[in-house]
Structure 1
Amino acid sequence: MAAITISNLVKTYPGSTERATDDVSLTIRDGEFTVLLGPSGCGKTTLLRMLAGLELPDSGSISIGGRDVTYLPPNKRNLSMVFQSYAVFPHRKVDYNIGFGLRMARVPQAEIDRKVRWAAELLQLGDYLDRFPAQLSGGQRQRVAVARAIVMDADVLLMDEPLSNLDALLRLTFRSELKKIVQDLGTTTVYVTHDQSEALSLGDQVAVMRKGRIVQLGDPLDVYDAPADRFVGGFIGSPPMNFIDATVSPAGDTLLLGDQRLAAPSILRSFAGHGVQLGIRAENIGVGTSRSSGDIAAEVTVVEPMGSSVLLTVDVDGHTLKVQAPPAFKAKPHERIWLGFSPNTMRFYDRETSMALEAK
C-alpha cells in the first residue's frame, strides 16, 4: 500500500515573510493520480520536493504507506521522480539512462536488462536503446526520463511539470500516453503542473493551490463545474469563468443585472436584497439572434472563430462576458444578440470574500 498522508505541512524559506506551504494537509489514496495545480509561486513544487525529501518542512508530517518519512532522505522513501528537464546523461545511451537507478541500487545485471527492455517497450523506445539522447526528439527524451522512473518499482511516482518542454501537439499526444501508462502501472502518482488542461485530463483528483494553500480539492469535473471561489473559477477554464455583479431582488425571486432581470435560483432566496456575483462558463450561456423568454440583451464586441465553436466577447450593461456559440452562429461586432442562462449552470459568490455561496 502506498497511500500518502500530508498533515499540516509548513515551509518558509529563509529571508521570506510568506510561507511557501501554509498548513497544507492532503490525503492521496493508494494508486490514485493526484495533480497539484496552480500558478507559479503557489507552493506546488515546494510541496512535491518535500514529498521527495529534497526539502524538509518546518513543521507537519508526511507518511507513505503508513510510514512516517517526514525527515527521511530521498533514498529511504522508495519513490521515483520525473523532472521538468529531461535530466538524461548526454554521453550515455538510452539503455544506460533507463537503467541508471537500478545500477545505483546494485540490482543484478540480468534484472536490469529485463526491466529496461520492459520499460522501453512500454514507452515505445525499443528501437532506440542503442542511441544517444542527442539522436532523439524532445518527446523521446522525455519518455526516457519516464522509463527511468518506472523501472524502479517505487511506491510513489512524482512528476514535476514533465511535459512543459514539449511543443503543444506533442504535449497533447504524450499526455494521453502518460495517463494510460500510469493507469496500467497502478502506481500512486503526484503530478505538478500550471496547465489546467493537463490537470483536468490526467488527475483522479485535483488540488488547486494558491499562496501556499490548497483552496479546492476534488474530482476534476467537480472542480471545473463548481469552483470553490472566484480564483479557482478564473484560473481553470479556457476562457475562464465569467463573473457578473448582480443584486437579488427583495422578494428573492429575481436577479438584477443592471436594468435586466433573470429568474433567481432557489439558493438565492436567503440572500434577498443582497449583492452577489454570478459565475457562469462560456459554454453554458445560450445564444440567439431573437429573444426567448428569460433572455437578456447583449452587444457583440469581438467575434473569434475557433473551428469547433465561435467565441464571442459581448457587453451586458457594462459587464464583459465570453460566450461560446456553435460554429455556424453568425454575428458581427455591434450587433445585438440574446443570452439565455440556465439556473443549474449558474454559480454564486460572495462579493467580499469571493467564496461560493451556500443556501442558509
Structure 2
Amino acid sequence: MTDVSISRLCKTYPGQGTPASDDVSLDIADGEFLVLLGPSGCGKTTLMRMVAGLELADSGRVIVGGRDITYLPPRERNLSMVFQSYAVFPHRTVADNIAFGLRMRGVDREVVARKVAWAADLLQLGPYLQRYPAQLSGGQRQRVAVARAIVVDADLLLMDEPLSNLDALLRLSFRAELKKLVSEIGTTTLYVTHDQVEALSLGDRVAVMRDGRIIQCDQPMTVYDDPATEFVGSFLGSPPMNFLSGRVHGSNGSTQVDLGGLHLPAPSRLASYAGREVRLGVRPETIAVSREGDPGASPSTVSVFEPLGSAVLITAELAGQELKVAAPASFRASPGERLWLTLAPERMRWYDPETGSALELAP
C-alpha cells in the first residue's frame, strides 16, 4: 500500500514575504492519480519538490506508505520523477537511459534487461533502444523519461508538467497514452500542471492551488461543475465561468435575482440571502441561445461573434453585464443583433461577492 499523507507543509523562500507553501495538507490514496493544478507561482512545483526531497520544508510532514520521509535525502525516498525538460542523458542510448535508475540500485543485469524491454514495449520505444536522444523527437524523448521513471518500482511517481514542451497535437496523443499507462501500472501518482485540460482528463482528483494553498480538491467534474470559489470557476474552463452581479429578492414564496432590472428565477434555497448582493456563476456551454423570445428567456445584445470550428463563442451584453455563450457550430450571429438567452436555474452557482466563496445554501 502506497498512500501519501501531506500534513501542514510550509515553505517560505528567503527574501519572500509570502509562503510558497502555506500550511498545505493533502491525502492521496494508494494507486490514485492526483493532479495539482494552478497558475504559475501558486506553489504546486514547490510542494512536489518537497515531496521529492529537492526542497526542505520549514515545517509539516510527508508520509509515504506509512514512512515519514519529510527530511530524508531523495535517494532514500524510493520515488521516481519525470521533469518538464525530459532530463535524459544525451550521451547514453535509450536503453541505457531507461536502465540508469535500476543500475544505480545494483539490480541484477537480467532483471534490468527484462524491465527495460517491458517499459520499452509499453511506451512503444522498442525500435529506438540503441538510438541516442538527439536522434529522437520530443515526444519520444519524453517517453524515455517516463520509461526510466516506471521501471524502478517506486512507491510514488512524480510528474512535473511533463507534457508542456510538446506541441499541441503531440500533447493530445501523449496525454491519452499516459492515462492508459498509469492506469495499467497502478502506481500512486502526483502530477503538476497549469493546463486545465490535462488536469480534468488525467486526474482521479484535482487539487486547485492558489497562493500556496489548496482551494479545492475533488473529482475533476465536481471541481468543474461546482467550483468552491470564483477563482476556481474562472481558472477552469475555456472560456471560463461567467460571473454576474445581482441582488436576491424573495416575495410571495418565489426567489429571484435582480441583475439590474432583469429578474431571473433562483432556487428557493437562496431565499435566506434576500436583500443581499450575490454573484451568479454560470458556464457558457449551459446557456441556451435563440432568436425567439421563448418563455423564461432574457434579451441580450451581441458584442462579438467568434467561430471556433467545433462551436461558436458569443460575447453578449445581458442587463448591462457581459457574458460568454458557447453555441453550436452551425449558429450564426452578428454584432448588434438581439438574441435571447436562457439560464437554467439548476446550472447556476452562487458566490459571496466579498470573499468569492460559494454560498452555503440550505438543503
TM over 0.5: yes
Aligned to 2:359: 357
Alignment partners' CA distance in 2, 1:230 and 1:67: 37
Match of 2:272 among 270, 273, 291: 270
Match of 2:101 in 1: 101
Amino acid at match of 2:60: G
2:144 corresponds in structure 1 to 144
Deviation at 1:282, TM superposition (A): 0.3
Query: Is the contact between residue 248 and residue 268 of structure 1 (CA under 8 Å) also seen in structure 2?
Result: yes
Deviations 1:319-356 (A, max 9, x none): 11110111121211100000001111000000101100
Matching residue within 265, 274, 281 for 1:279: 281
CA deviation vs aligned residue, 1:4-48 (integer Å, no higher than 9, x gap): 000000111111111110000000000000000000110000000
- 1:104-137 Cα offsets, whole Å, 9 max, x none, are 1111111111111100000000000011111110
Code of the residue aligned with 1:91 in structure 2: it is: H
SS at match of 1:333: coil
Counterpart pick for 2:334 among 314, 332, 335: 332
Q: Provide the rounded CA distance (Å) in 2 between the counterparts of 1:94 and 1:359.
A: 56
Question: Which residue does 2:238 correspond to in 1?
Answer: 238
Structure 2 counterpart SS, 1:18: coil
Match of 2:67 in 1: 67
1:82 aligns with 82
Match of residue 350 from structure 2:
348
Q: Give the aligned partner of residue 92 of structure 1.
A: 92
Is 1:227–2:227 an aligned residue pair?
A: yes
Aligned residues: 360
User: Contact 2:161–2:192 at 8 Å: present in 1 too?
Assistant: yes
Q: How does 1:250-261 map to 2 (within 5 A)?
A: 250-251=250-251, 253-261=255-263
Q: Deviations over 1:75-95 (max 9, x none)?
A: 111110000101111111100
* Aligned twin of 2:319: 317
How far has the Cα of 1:267 moved from its partner?
Answer: 2.3
- CA contact under 8 A between 1:82 and 1:149: conserved in structure 2? yes
Shift of 1:309: 1.1
* Greater than 4 Å deviation, 4+ residue runs: none
Separation in 1, partners of 2:38, 2:71:
26
Instruction: Supply the distance in 2 between the matched residues of 1:42 and 1:279 (Cα, whole angstroms).
Output: 23
SS of equivalent to 1:249? strand
1:203-255 CA distances to partner (integer Å, 9 max, x unpaired)? 00000000000000000000000000000000000000000001111426111
User: Does the 8 Å contact 2:33/2:204 carry over to 1?
Assistant: yes
Counterpart of 2:103 in 1: which secondary structure?
A: helix
- Matched with 1:125 is 125
From 281, 305, 313, the counterpart of 1:303: 305
State percent identity of aligned pairs: 64
Q: Which runs of 5+ in 2 are unaligned?
A: none
Partners of 1:319 and 1:255 lie apart in 2 by 14
Q: Does 1:217 align with 2:217?
A: yes
Amino acid at match of 1:347: R
Q: Which moved more, 1:243-252 or 1:63-72?
A: 243-252
Structure 1 residue 73, shift from structure 2 partner: 0.8
Contact 2:249–2:271 (8 Å) recurs in 1: no
Pairing of 1:32-47 with structure 2 (within 5 A)? 32-47=32-47
Q: Which runs of 5+ in 1 are unaligned?
A: none
- C-alpha contact (below 8 Å) 2:7/2:61 kept by paired residues: yes
Counterpart position of 2:203: 203
Is contact 1:224–1:233 with CA below 8 Å preserved after alignment?
yes
Are the counterparts in 1 of residues 306 and 313 from structure 2 also a CA contact under 8 Å? yes
SS of residue paired to 1:61: strand
CA shift, 1:318, in A, is 2.3
Q: Which residue number corresponds to residue 2 of structure 2? A: 2
CA deviations 1:174-224 (Å, max 9, x no partner) are 000000000000000000000000000000000000000000000000000
Confirm or deny that 1:13 pairs with 2:18: no
TM-score, reference length from structure 1: 0.99
What secondary structure is seen at the aligned counterpart in 1 of 2:90? coil
CA distance in 2, matches of 1:250, 1:114: 70
Aligned to 1:153: 153
Aligned to 1:48: 48
The AA in structure 2 aligned to 1:156 is L
CA distance in 2, matches of 1:164, 1:267: 43
Paired letter, 2:189? T
Aligned residue for 1:164, secondary structure, equals: coil
Corresponding letter in the other structure for 1:333: P
Counterpart Cα distance in 2 of 1:305 and 1:13: 45
Give the counterpart letter for 2:106 in structure 1: R
Distance 1:71 1:267 in 2: 49
Letter in 2 for 1:295: A
Distance 1:86 1:255 in 2: 52
